[in-house]
């Protein structure tokens, strides 16, 4: 196809209204192949039915924000085709050339599992593509209209996995496998559609039409590495995850994570949480299938199947009633498989093997289920924390001392360099009469009675912050653990680290610490002011904290806030291995260490409390791993606007009424005033 056809209409002159630049051209071509994409500009007239040279349009199959899809016939033949004409007008230049280059690459795919791209070009300066017409149902419609039995569904999943494998063998990652992107034809063959977010594994990622670092895909079915926006980690195993999530949905009726929440929370769950066991959704799921599905959706790509073929092979083993590689098959099944392939041995020793297999497998399975730790929970009121096995009664119970209460309890993997196994991290609010009664405690699975180590007595307030504690002697310094998370702060070290914040009681200094699992302090910085929320951005290795600056009130900084006390701040720190005992600097205070950034939440007159987390924000000016700050308005704590920050703390955008919502009944100042600014220097002397 000559891309210069119909030049009189297809190539507007530079400066023509509606012409797109390089970035817009990228978006436009990506959207051609992705019916879920959202166009930024005005759509074409919905009554307009373009007549593509060489094709006769029979009917309109559907319209969307990106364009119109029509059923057509190639003139001179009886071949039915699908024609998609995009709404945007594309100009000439490097953006258009890159667009055609990627379309040409996709056009070279001649796989039975992918509708073949037959033709493409420009009509009235709008791109169009022509593909094979597939008369079939999406997997979502097929499963509801056909209502197949379990064996039929598993058999279809094998064909879908084979289709994905054929795509991978051509060096292409789909990156958006989901039920609505799989067509089932009359012969019950699977076809993969919407390759708009696909990437060639052999190509330079910087030359593709995708946005660098942008989470691409559908949250319910995207892999954790996609949800985090880390394109460097997106491989064929990411497709294996999406394939497994699709299989999870087809066999249980729901995806691996509960998606009944906001888009931001949905992406956070996929990026950082553990998926639920399939049997939690559908209790009748056979044990081998439960193991197969759970292996597919492992948060760790290395623990998934190495290929879509591996997934298909295990499904075939299940249908043949053979032990599956994912586990979940009982010892009895292994014994029977051995006997089936060794008839002579089976004749001589069948009874003995059956007896040993039955007794041995029952003991081993029950022992593992009753002793392997599964999760830890804090009971109502926070007075106790309980550790549960995979099956059975509580393994261990911790009771908070006196009137203390637990605020967090986390199960974590102990790094192999420290012996492996599981650890439980517990902390909380101390008894007011005995603030040292409850510290950060780390227990190893070898002994849940006595902590492996605690933070008790290990914090020493720096001299630079003595002004903030009214001159009390160091011997009376007391700290409580406030928040805790387990993340990979230092990639150069094996395994994760523990990040915890500690608040001085009853005064304002606060410490941010990073520990290894042996209790060694790897990083420590101090701040004057209660930091109530913490968030980790892994790609840029930044800890984001939100709270107050207690180095004076607003009035000390020359701002009359009608009673509002201390400034609300957002702080970014970049941990450096071995930096310990340093005090952060802020406007008007010279500490030992400059933060990555330090902002004040405005307006000063508004009394707010904040919570932070990861945002899936599509603005091109921000990184995908942005931080969202939710602002609630006391005393009602009604949800207010969202503020979004990139990893540099810049590019703030106020989003009232979007995503996080806005309550119109609140008596608030002009929304346009919401944002961040520098902390004004203190004008009065410190006591």
Phi then psi dihedrals of residue 61, to 5 deg? -85, -30
- The whole-angstrom separation of Cα 560 and Cα 375 is 49
Which range among 116-130, 414-428, 629-643 has the greatest average pLDDT? 414-428
Confidence of residue 125 (pLDDT cuts 50, 70, 90): confident
Here the CATH number for the domain that contains residue 41 is 3.30.200.20
287: CATH = 1.10.510.10
Residue 405 lies in a domain: no
For residue 513, being part of any structural domain is answered with: no
pLDDT at 606: 61
Residue 172: predicted pLDDT: 84
Report the C-alpha gap between 73 and 78 in whole angstroms: 6
Distances (CA, A) of 11 to 19, 20, 104, 368, 622: 10, 12, 19, 69, 32
110: left (phi over 0), alpha (psi -120 to 50) or beta: beta
- Do residues 325 and 336 share a domain? no
Verify that 278 and 315 share a domain, yes or no: yes
Could you tell me if 147 and 272 lie in one domain? yes
Same domain, yes or no, for 116 and 56? Answer: yes
Q: Are residues 91 and 113 in the same domain?
A: yes
Is 312 a member of any domain?
A: yes
DSSP secondary structure string for all residues of 160-180: HHHHHHHHHHTTEE-----GG
Last residue of a domain, one of 300, 329, 358: 329
Residue 25 pLDDT > 60, yes or no? Answer: no
Least confident among 165-174, 335-344, 574-583: 335-344
pLDDT in tens, 138-186: 898 898 888 888 999 999 999 999 999 988 888 888 888 999 889 888 8
Residues 315 and 205 occupy one common structural domain: yes
Instruction: Please check whether residues 121 and 224 belong to one and the same domain.
Output: no
> What is the span of the domain harbouring residue 52?
7-132
Contacts of 380 (CB under 8 A, 6+ apart): none
**Rounded distance, CA 535 to CA 653, Å?**
19
pLDDT at 523: 97
Is position 384 within any domain?
no
pLDDT attached to residue 380:
73
Average pLDDT of the chain to the nearest whole number: 75
SS3 call for 542: strand
Convert the pLDDT of each residue in 352-374 to its tens digit.
656 665 555 554 445 444 457 88
Q: Does 142 lie in the same domain as 67? A: no
**Minimum mean pLDDT range among 147-156, 425-434, 659-668:** 659-668
pLDDT at position 364: 46
What pLDDT is attached to residue 382? 84
Q: Which of 141-150, 240-249, 413-422, 479-488 has the highest mean pLDDT?
A: 240-249
Please check whether residues 99 and 236 belong to one and the same domain: no
Q: What is the DSSP letter of 552?
A: S
122 lies in the same domain as 60:
yes
Distance CA 388, CA 208 (A): 47
**pLDDT higher than threshold 90 for residue 51:** no
Is 630 inside a domain boundary?
Answer: no
pTM: 0.47
From the CB of residue 419, how many other CB atoms can be counted at a distance below 10 Å?
11
- Assess if residue 521 is contained within a domain: no
Which residues have C-beta within 8 Å of that of residue 318, sequence separation ≥ 6? 154, 286, 288, 289, 292, 324
Last residue of a domain, one of 329, 355, 390: 329
Measured between alpha carbons, how far is 32 from 138 in angstroms, rounded to an integer? 19
Express each pLDDT in 500-554 by its tens digit.
Answer: 999 887 788 999 999 999 999 999 999 999 888 888 888 778 898 888 899 988 8
The answer as to whether 452 is a domain residue is no
The Cα–Cα gap between 489 and 687 comes to 37
Maximum C-alpha span of the chain: 94
Average pLDDT of span 125-129:
80
Position 239 confidence tier, pLDDT thresholds 50, 70, 90: very high
- Length of the chain counted residue by residue: 687
DSSP state of 661: -
The contacts of residue 374 (CB under 8 Å, 6+ apart) are 388, 389, 390
Give the 3-state secondary structure of residue 44.
coil
Q: What pLDDT is attached to residue 672?
A: 54
If asked whether residues 69 and 171 sit together in one domain, one would say no
* 483 domain-assigned: no
Q: Count other C-beta atoms under 10 Å from residue 609's C-beta.
A: 17
> Which of 17-21, 52-56, 242-246, 581-585 has the weakest average pLDDT?
17-21
**Domains in the chain, number:** 3
Cα 456 from Cα 510, distance rounded (Å): 15
- Residue whose structure tokens are 């009982």: 330
Q: Phi and psi for 486 in degrees, rounded to 5?
A: -115, 110
pLDDT for 650: 58
Q: Looking at the structure, tell me whether residues 171 and 300 fall in a common domain.
A: yes
Domain boundary among 132, 153, 185: 132
The answer to whether 304 touches 235, Cβ cutoff 8 Å, is no
Q: What is the mean pLDDT of residues 262-275?
A: 89
């Amino acid at each position: 196809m000559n891309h210069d056809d119909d030049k009189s209409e297809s190539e507007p002159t530079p400066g023509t209204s509606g012409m797109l630049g390089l970035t817009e051209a990228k978006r436009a071509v990506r959207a051609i192949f992705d019916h879920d994409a959202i166009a930024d500009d005005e759509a074409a007239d919905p009554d307009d039915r373009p007549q593509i040279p060489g094709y006769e349009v029979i009917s309109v199959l559907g319209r969307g924000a990106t364009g119109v899809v029509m059923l057509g016939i190639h003139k001179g033949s009886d071949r039915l085709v699908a024609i998609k004409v995009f709404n945007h007008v594309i100009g000439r230049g490097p953006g258009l050339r890159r667009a055609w280059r990627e379309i040409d690459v996709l056009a070279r795919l001649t796989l039975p599992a992918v509708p073949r791209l037959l033709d493409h070009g420009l009509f009235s300066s709008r791109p169009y593509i022509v593909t094979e017409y597939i008369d079939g149902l999406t997997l979502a419609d097929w499963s509801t209209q056909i209502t197949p039995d379990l064996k039929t569904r598993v058999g279809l999943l094998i064909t879908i996995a084979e289709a994905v494998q054929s795509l991978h063998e051509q060096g292409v990652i789909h990156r958006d496998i989901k039920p609505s992107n799989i067509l089932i034809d009359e012969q019950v063959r699977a076809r993969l559609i919407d390759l708009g977010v696909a990437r060639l594994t052999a190509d330079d990622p910087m030359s593709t039409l995708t946005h660098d670092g942008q989470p691409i895909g559908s949250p319910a079915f995207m892999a954790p590495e996609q949800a985090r926006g880390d394109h460097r980690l997106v491989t064929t195993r990411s497709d294996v995850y999406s394939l497994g999530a699709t299989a999870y949905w087809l066999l249980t009726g729901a995806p691996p994570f509960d998606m009944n929440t906001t888009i931001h929370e949905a992406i956070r769950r996929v990026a950082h949480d553990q998926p639920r066991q399939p049997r939690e959704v559908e209790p009748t799921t056979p044990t081998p299938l439960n193991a197969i599905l759970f292996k597919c959706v492992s948060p760790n790509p290395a623990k998934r199947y190495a290929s879509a073929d591996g997934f298909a092979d295990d499904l075939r083993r299940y249908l043949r009633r053979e032990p599956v590689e994912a586990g979940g098959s009982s010892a009895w099944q292994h014994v029977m498989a051995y006997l089936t392939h060794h008839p002579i041995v089976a004749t001589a020793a069948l009874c003995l093997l059956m007896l040993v297999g039955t007794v041995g497998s029952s003991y081993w399975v029950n022992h593992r289920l009753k002793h392997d730790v599964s999760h830890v929970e804090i009971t109502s009121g926070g007075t106790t924390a309980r550790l549960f096995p995979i099956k059975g009664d509580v393994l261990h119970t911790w009771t908070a001392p006196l009137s203390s209460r637990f605020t967090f309890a986390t199960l974590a993997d102990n790094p192999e360099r420290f012996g492996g196994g599981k650890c439980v991290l517990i902390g909380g609010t101390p008894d007011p009469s005995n603030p040292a009664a409850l510290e950060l405690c780390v227990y190893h699975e070898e002994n849940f009675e006595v902590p492996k180590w605690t933070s008790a007595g290990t914090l020493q307030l720096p001299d630079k912050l003595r002004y903030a504690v009214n001159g009390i002697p160091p011997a009376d310094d007391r700290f409580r653990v406030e928040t805790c998370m387990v993340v990979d702060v230092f990639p150069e070290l094996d395994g994760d680290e523990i990040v915890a914040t500690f608040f001085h009681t009853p005064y304002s200094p606060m410490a941010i610490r990073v520990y290894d699992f042996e209790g060694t302090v790897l990083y420590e910085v101090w701040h004057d002011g209660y930091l109530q929320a913490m968030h980790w951005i892994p790609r840029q290795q930044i800890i984001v904290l939100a709270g107050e600056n207690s180095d004076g009130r607003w009035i000390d900084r020359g701002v009359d806030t009608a009673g509002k006390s201390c400034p609300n701040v957002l702080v970014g720190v970049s941990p450096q291995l071995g930096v310990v005992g340093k005090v952060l600097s802020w406007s008007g205070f010279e500490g030992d260490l400059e933060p990555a950034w330090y902002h004040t939440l405005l307006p000063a007159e508004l009394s707010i409390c904040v919570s932070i987390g990861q945002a899936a924000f599509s603005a091109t000016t921000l990184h995908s791993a942005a931080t969202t700050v939710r602002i609630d308005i006391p005393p009602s704590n009604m949800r207010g606007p969202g503020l979004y920050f990139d990893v540099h703390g810049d590019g703030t955008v106020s989003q009232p009424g979007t995503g996080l919502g806005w309550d119109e009944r609140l008596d608030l100042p002009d929304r346009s005033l919401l944002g961040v600014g520098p902390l004004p220097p203190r004008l009065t002397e410190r006591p």
